[in-house]
């Protein structure tokens, strides 16, 4: 459902309250500015959620709010690309698609995070246990009938793409009360952490350069894994993969994977070692202050070591 708003009545009401028409010039100016701002944006509604977009883009876009199945709330595509594709390929679908917004349950989100989420990004949650996914193409969906038309409309497509990436999620959070921002990492590091957190029975151990490995048996991985998963981003970087100095090691035997957390010049890195594969280095950037990666994994190790020591004494 599409909405538009007008502010002309506000101008007249203000003039009547002032009691004389001479003061209406300033009021009319303010009202005109309000109308102009409103006209710059329009919005669509589905299931109580609102999606806002600039008025100038609305005429260029097809915004869908009705879906036969799935969790989608909105899906937005460029009309001209759809038209071009229909002329060239009768059965082609997906041309011009820019993005979609979906709502998923906690269980659905956890399953997603345990796998590659290419084309899907977690960006919000609410207090009712739902999570919001920003879906986007992993290839270019821009189409025109001729190279000349492609060149002519490239700037238009670029503007639409810039709006999608810079404004859509931000405005969706503003326009839908009760939503709060939330992100999760989905690099190889994030996927490992999600599997440890959400797939019960995944065995692991923790170790340090100066101490023997401790089994994670009996230590709940969820609180530590979620801090590392939601509280940090892990970006693959180039650098020396030789371990120097202290580190905390997280080992997942099932995946034949070892993750080494350490610091260089005050920055935390994670070295990923997988049997039979090239080692990869990641820079860990905290999203939340309390979730700094090396501090969390150190606390995790201390908990496992204390548990192991207690078990040893009991025996």
Angle value at C-alpha 52, between 80 and 125, nearest 5 degrees: 120
Q: Kindly state the average pLDDT of the residues 193-220.
A: 91
pLDDT higher than 90, residue 22: no
Query: In this model, does residue 191 exceed pLDDT 50?
Result: yes
Beta strands 49-54; 61-64: pairing state:
unpaired
Confidence of residue 275 (pLDDT cuts 50, 70, 90): very high
More confident of the two residues 137 and 12: 137
Pairing assessment for the beta strands 72-78 and 97-105 based on DSSP bridges: antiparallel
pLDDT (tens digit, 9 = 90+) per residue, 96-115?
999 999 999 999 999 999 99
pTM of the model: 0.82
pLDDT score of 6: 29
Cβ-proximal residues to 311 (8 Å cutoff; 6+ apart), any chain: 218
Least confident of 10-19, 56-65, 144-153, 200-209: 10-19
Q: Tell me, what's the pLDDT at 149? A: 95
H or E element: which one contains 257? strand 257-264
Least confident of 32-36, 114-118, 290-294: 32-36
Task: Output the pLDDT for position 26.
Answer: 44
Q: Could you tell me where the DSSP H helices lie in the chain?
A: 8-18, 24-40, 55-58, 79-88, 106-113, 147-166, 168-175, 188-198, 222-230, 293-314
The average confidence (pLDDT) of the chain is: 86
Select the highest-mean-pLDDT range: 24-28, 31-35, 207-211, 221-225: 221-225
* Cα–Cα distance, 279 to 298 (Å, whole number): 22
Q: What pLDDT score does 19 carry? A: 32
């Amino acid at each position: 459902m599409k909405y538009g708003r007008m502010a002309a009545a506000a101008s007249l009401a203000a003039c009547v309250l002032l009691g004389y028409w001479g003061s209406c010039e300033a009021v009319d100016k303010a009202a005109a500015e309000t109308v102009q701002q409103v006209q710059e944006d329009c919005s669509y509604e589905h299931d109580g959620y609102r999606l806002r977009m600039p008025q100038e883009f609305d005429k260029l876009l097809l915004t869908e709010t009705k879906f036969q199945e799935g969790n989608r709330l909105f899906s937005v595509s460029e009309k001209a690309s759809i038209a071009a594709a229909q002329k060239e390929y009768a059965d082609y679908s997906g041309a011009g698609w820019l993005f979609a917004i979906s709502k998923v349950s906690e269980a659905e989100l956890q399953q997603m995070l345990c796998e590659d989420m290419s084309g899907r990004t977690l960006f919000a949650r609410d207090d009712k246990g739902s999570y919001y996914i920003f879906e986007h193409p992993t290839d270019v969906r821009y189409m025109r009938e001729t190279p000349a038309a492609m060149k002519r409309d490239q700037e238009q497509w670029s503007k639409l793409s810039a709006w999608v990436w810079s404004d859509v999620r931000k405005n969706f959070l503003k326009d839908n009360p009760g939503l709060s921002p939330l992100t999760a990492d989905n690099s190889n590091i994030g996927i490992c952490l999600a599997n440890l957190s959400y797939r019960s029975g995944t065995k692991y151990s923790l170790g340090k350069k100066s101490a023997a490995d401790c089994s994670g048996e009996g230590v709940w991985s969820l609180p530590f894994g979620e801090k590392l998963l939601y509280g940090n981003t892990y970006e693959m970087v180039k650098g020396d993969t030789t371990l120097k100095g202290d580190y905390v090691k997280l080992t997942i035997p099932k995946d034949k994977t070892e993750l080494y957390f350490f610091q260089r010049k005050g920055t935390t890195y994670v070295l990923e070692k997988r049997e039979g594969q090239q080692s990869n280095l990641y820079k860990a950037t905290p999203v939340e202050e309390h979730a700094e990666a090396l501090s969390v994994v150190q606390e995790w190790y201390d908990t496992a070591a204390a548990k192991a020591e207690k078990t040893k004494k009991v025996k």
